[in-house]
Structure formats: structure tokens, C-alpha cells
Amino acid sequence: MMATDAKRKAAEALLHVLPLPGREAGWAREARAAARTRLLDAGAPARRDEYWKYTDPARLTAPIAVVEATDARPDVESQFGEVHPRRARFVNGHFRPDLSGDLAQEGLVVNTLSQVLQQDIIFARDLFGKLEAAGQEKIARPLAALNTACATEGLVLHVTGKVAEPLHLRHDQIGEGASLMHHLIRVESGGSLLLLESGTVTNKVLEIDVADGGSFQHVLIQEGPRACAANHIFARLGAEALFKTFTLTADGEMTRNEVVMEFTGDNSVGHIAGAVLANGASHIDNTVFVTHGAEHCESRQVFKHVLTDKAHGIFQGKIFVRKGTQKTDGYQISQAVLLADGAEFSAKPELEIYADDVKCSHGSTTGKLDETAMFYLRSRGVPYAEAEAMLVAAFAEEAFTEIDNEALAEAMRAHVARWMAGRGEGVQ
């Protein structure tokens, strides 16, 4: 599909503002060139694109320069409650080994993206830009192609065994400016990793390849009122693999989270979940595309939205079942509770099925909190705000049960409680 002139010009402008990567291996240069072609062919996203119907990409495509890393506090509080991971820190999109802990563990090899792109590492060569490109088979994702073309910062994680301690990638954005990040993760057969992420990155891509029997679990927190973020997760699952990702997005001016997951081996499980807490004029879009390309795989999409003021929550979720992928089990639920009349939720569930022996279901609901339940709680002396918080916690719970690690789930619940308590007082 060729883009219109205007869209192509806008894509060129996006490339123009970002610096060209320096000396890299031949395969990396080829991957960059292919990504540039993908971007130019697709053109920059525009509001009239069907895939951007509910989210105006203007704020995400505004050319913003990457700002150099400034000093950041060396000690930072945990955002994951009782979970104490190894921490890798990024400031304004730059990896800061001086602020990071010791990342090497048994079963985990950590490199930076820039190191890897100068070498010939087979798994990286087969991954960088490859899952991103595969994820554009059905729908163009130009912001992800832009990332592959230009991003030089990120980590490359090679998971060769069961990694004992979780790894936390923490990003701090200080002052204005954009940040660009691209992480590559390869989980070998029998390997497992719990990856935590926090902070808002202007444009971020994760490419995750989970080999047969591998396991990858992921929890991301993004918050902050001024944030603009375009996130892409591209995941490929082999046979008998496990993939679970959960994203908590709180406030933020404009966020688009895309998760593109494909089953390529039989008997795998992939769960994509999220919670959205949005106030003010916040705009938060979760867009998911799951492809069943193998038999006996189970996919779940569970998204809960708590929206107030004039916030707008969006969920676009698709389950695409390829021909012959029998015994597919696909589930999708997106729900929103509106705490104010001005809040809005848009949902676009899609199923496209080319196999006959499958089980796929989807559902979506939007509404206020149950007035009868509110009255019942208040009639027992629970104040209005607390009653709301209790019902909101109950509403969001299904998304948190998607997190296997109970301490992490508890940290997410605490996050919601804090957000509810601070709501309306400008507290984040």
C-alpha cells in the first residue's frame, strides 16, 4: 500500500528530525533501511486512517528532538511495592549504567542495543525489526517502523535459563523533549523472565521472541499528566510458551499502547491485560492485535478503564484466527466505568476467524458505578469517595488477577487506591 504524498511527506519529516544512527553492522543498516521504507510506504499515521479513528496521532507525530540526559536522582522509590527487582535506569532515553544495578544474573545476558547493532549476534539479527515488520502484515504501524529506523537506545536481553530476580527497566524523563527506545528480548527454550518497566517513553518498541517452552511475563507502569507515549510490543510465541503482559496507564495527555502478538507454535498461552486510570483531558488508547497461527492456543485480552473528568479511553482489540488453527481459545473483554458525565469510552472489538473448530468470545461494557451498591455502602457509613474507591477496586480486579505475581498485583491495587484517593486534588 502506497501512502498519499502528504502522508509520505509527513513520514519524511518524522525521519528528518531524528539523528541518523552511527556506525553499525551491515545487517543492522539493512534493517534500518527496510524500516525506513516501511515507514515511507505507509506514510505517517493520520486521523482519517481507520486504525486511528479514535486517537488523533498529531500529538504523537509532532517532531520533538531528543534531549540529552540530565542528572537524575540516584536513589528512587520502588513503584512495585514489595517486589525488589534488579534495576536498569534510563534518563531521557539514554541508558545510565552508573545509575543501574548489577544486571547480570544466571540465565540472563544483558547488552545494550548499540553494542549489539555493531556486532553479529544471530538472535538479534533475526529479531531486530523482524517482529515489528511481521506485525505490520495486516495493519501499518508507522510509528513502530520509525522507531526501528532511528532508535539507538535500549537493552538486548538474552534469556537462556530461569532468571531468578525480576529485571526493572526504569525510565525518567527530565524536562521537555522526546525519548526513543527499542528493546530486544529472546527467551530460549525453558527460559523465563519477569520484566518490569516504568516511565513514559515517547516512542518505544519491544520485540519479544519466546521460543518453545519459554516464559515471559511483563508489567509496565506509565503515569504522569504531561506524558505522550506511543508504545509497541511485538511478541512471537513458539510452542508451549507463556506470554503475559500487563500495562497500567495513569493519566497522561496522549498514550497509545499497541500489543501485537502471534502464536506460531501449538499449545501456547498469551494474555494481554491493562488498567487505565484517566482524569483531566487524558487520552489513553490500548490497541491489541492477536494472531492465532497455531493450534490449541489460548489468548486473553482483559482491559479495565476508570475514567473521570473529560478523559477518553479507547480499546481496539482484534483476534485474528488463521486457517487451520483449530482449538483456538480467544477471549476479550474491555470495560469502562465512567465517574463523570464528561468521560468517554470507545471500544472496537473485532474477530476475524478462518478456522471452524474454535472458541472465541468478546465483550465490552460501559457505565457508571452501581448506584444501589453505592447507597448500600454509604448507608453503612462509608463516605462517598471511599465507597467509589471500593467499587472501582472491585471493578478493576479482573485485570489484576492477570498478574501471576501476587505482590505485583497488590502493588497495582495500591496504585489504584492512591489514584482514587488523590483524584480531584491534583495529586498523581
Partner 1 sequence: MLNISNLHVKLEEEDKVILKGLDLNIGAGQVHAIMGPNGSGKSTLSYVLAGRAGYEVTEGSATLDGNNLLAMDPEDRAAAGLFLAFQYPVEIPGVGNMTFLRTAMNAQRKTRGEPEISAPAFLKLVREKAKSLRIDPDMLKRPVNVGFSGGEKKRNEILQMAMLEPRMCILDETDSGLDVDAMKLVAEGVNALRSEGRSFLVITHYQRLLDHIKPDVVHIMADGRIVETGGPELAFRVEAEGYAHLQQSVA
Pick between residue 65 and residue 394 the one whose CB is nearest to partner 1.
394
Nearer to partner 1, 117 or 377 (CB): 377
Minimum CB separation of residue 387 from partner 1 in Å reads 8
Binding mask 336-375 for partner 1 (x = CB under 8 A): ----------------------------------xxxx-x
The smaller minimum CB distance to partner 1, of residues 281 and 382, is found at 382
CB contact at 8 A, 192 and 219: no
* Secondary element (H or E) of residue 234: strand 228-237
Query: Which cell numbers in the block locate residue 215?
Result: 516464559
Q: How far is the CB of 288 from partner 1 (least distance, A)?
A: 24
Cell numbers representing residue 69 in the block: 540526559
Residues 370-409 that bind partner 1 (CB under 8 A): 370-373, 375-384, 386-387, 390-391, 393-395, 397
- Written as one string, the DSSP assignment of 237-279 is E-TT-EEEEEEEEE--SEEEEEEEEEE-SSS-EEEEEEEEEE-
Report d(CA 45, CA 38) in Å as an integer: 12
3-class state of residue 331 by DSSP: strand
CB of 83 to partner 1, least distance (A): 23
Helices and strands: H and E segment counts in the chain: 10, 19
Residue type, 363: G
Q: Which residues lie below 8 Å from residue 90, measured CB to CB, with a gap of 6+?
A: 96, 153, 169, 170, 171, 172, 179, 181, 199
- What is the nearest approach in angstroms of partner 1 to the Cβ of residue 275? 14
In the complex with partner 1, which residue's Cβ is closer, 71 or 371?
371
Q: What is the 3-state secondary structure (H, E, C) of 363-415?
A: EEEEECCCHHHHHHHHHCCCCHHHHHHHHHHHHHHHHHCCCCCHHHHHHHHHH
Cβ closer to partner 1: 356 or 371?
Answer: 371
Work out the end-to-end distance of the chain between its first and last CA atoms, rounded to an integer number of angstroms.
43
Nearer to partner 1 (CB atom), residue 243 or residue 395: 395
Q: How far is the CB of 370 from partner 1 (least distance, A)?
A: 8
Beta-bridged to residue 231, according to DSSP, are 204, 257
Quote the least distance from Cβ 381 to partner 1, whole Å. Answer: 4
C-beta of 386 vs 410, nearer to partner 1: 386
Strands (E), 279-328: 283-292, 298-307, 312-321
Yes or no: say if 153 and 113 are a contact pair by the CB < 8 Å rule: yes
Give the shortest CB-413-to-partner 1 separation in angstroms.
Answer: 11
* Three cell numbers written together for 255: 498514550
- From the CB of 377, what's the least distance to partner 1, in Å? 7
CA-angle at 133, arms to 399 and 296, nearest 5°: 50
**Site mask, partner 1, residues 214-243, x = CB under 8 A?**
------------------------------
Q: Are 301 and 332 within 8 A, CB to CB?
A: yes
337 vs 338 by CB, closer to partner 1? 337
Closer residue to partner 1 in complex, CB, 381/426 = 381
The count of residues interacting with partner 1 (CB under 8 A) is 22
Least spacing, CB of residue 198 vs partner 1, in Å: 26
Least Cβ distance, residue 85 to partner 1 (angstroms): 28
Q: Does 410 bind partner 1 (CB under 8 A)?
A: no
Closer residue to partner 1 (CB): 24 or 410 = 410
Q: Which residues bind partner 1 (CB under 8 A)?
A: 370-373, 375-384, 386-387, 390-391, 393-395, 397
